[in-house]
């Protein structure tokens, strides 16, 4: 079990307040999610659609744990501009090249925070007439429960309302590479 002092060399001088989810916990839960997803989609075309950049590590591990044929694509959405708070005005910076019509779409997200961007993405994707459209999130802070039009069908962990980094989550593009999820120290 890693302790904050064990990972200082990975943090470039930044301190970790605590490690919220250990690498072993994450990998075990990802393996379970893979089995849950395979059971939920026994047939039909499955497209696992990752929301970049935060989902890339989670998505990479997840698709290797789904024992069935699937396709992978990504999208990049922007709703922040130069601000620190989402404007709710979402635009696709990179739109998936894969045809969505008639496929089971599983949108993979690293963390659900405000829910505004996710809601808008669900609208945009639903308009392309997929057979089904669901969310798989590694973490959910529970802050968007009243805002989200659709709750995640597949969830890794409930997350504390702290600023989290690691396993794809970043702070100013740093710390995505960490094999654990941690709370940054002030």
CA distance 123 to 118: 9
Identify each DSSP E strand in 6-140 by its residue range: 16-21, 46-52, 71-78, 91-94, 104-112, 132-140
The two most distant CA atoms of the chain are separated, in Å, by 49
Nearest to 134 by CA among 115, 107, 103, 112: 107
Token pair listed for 143: 């802050």
Handedness of CA 41, 36, 178, 79 (dihedral sign): positive
Give the strand order in the sheet containing 154-158. Answer: 91-94, 71-78, 46-52, 104-112, 132-140, 154-158
**Residue 151 in tokens:** 């709750």
For residue 53, the SS3 value is: coil
113 is catalytic: yes
Q: Which of 113, 146, 170, 174 is catalytic?
A: 113
Catalytically active residues are 113
């Amino acid at each position: 079990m890693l302790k904050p002092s064990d990972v200082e060399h990975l943090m470039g001088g930044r301190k970790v307040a605590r490690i919220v989810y250990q690498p072993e916990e994450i990998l075990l839960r990802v393996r379970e999610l893979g089995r849950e997803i395979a059971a939920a989609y026994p047939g039909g075309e499955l497209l696992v659609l990752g929301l970049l950049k935060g989902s890339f590590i989670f998505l990479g591990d997840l698709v290797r744990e789904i024992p069935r044929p699937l396709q992978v694509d990504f999208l990049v959405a922007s709703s922040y501009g130069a601000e620190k708070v989402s404007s709710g005005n979402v635009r696709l910076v990179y739109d998936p090249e894969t045809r969505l019509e008639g496929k089971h779409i599983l949108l993979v997200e690293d963390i659900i925070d405000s829910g505004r961007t996710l809601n808008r993405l669900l609208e945009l994707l639903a308009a392309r007439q997929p057979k089904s459209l669901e969310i798989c999130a590694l973490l959910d802070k529970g802050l968007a429960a009243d805002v989200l039009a659709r709750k995640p069908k597949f969830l890794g962990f409930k997350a504390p309302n702290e600023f989290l980094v690691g396993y794809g989550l970043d702070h100013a593009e740093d710390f995505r590479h960490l094999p654990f999820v941690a709370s940054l120290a002030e």
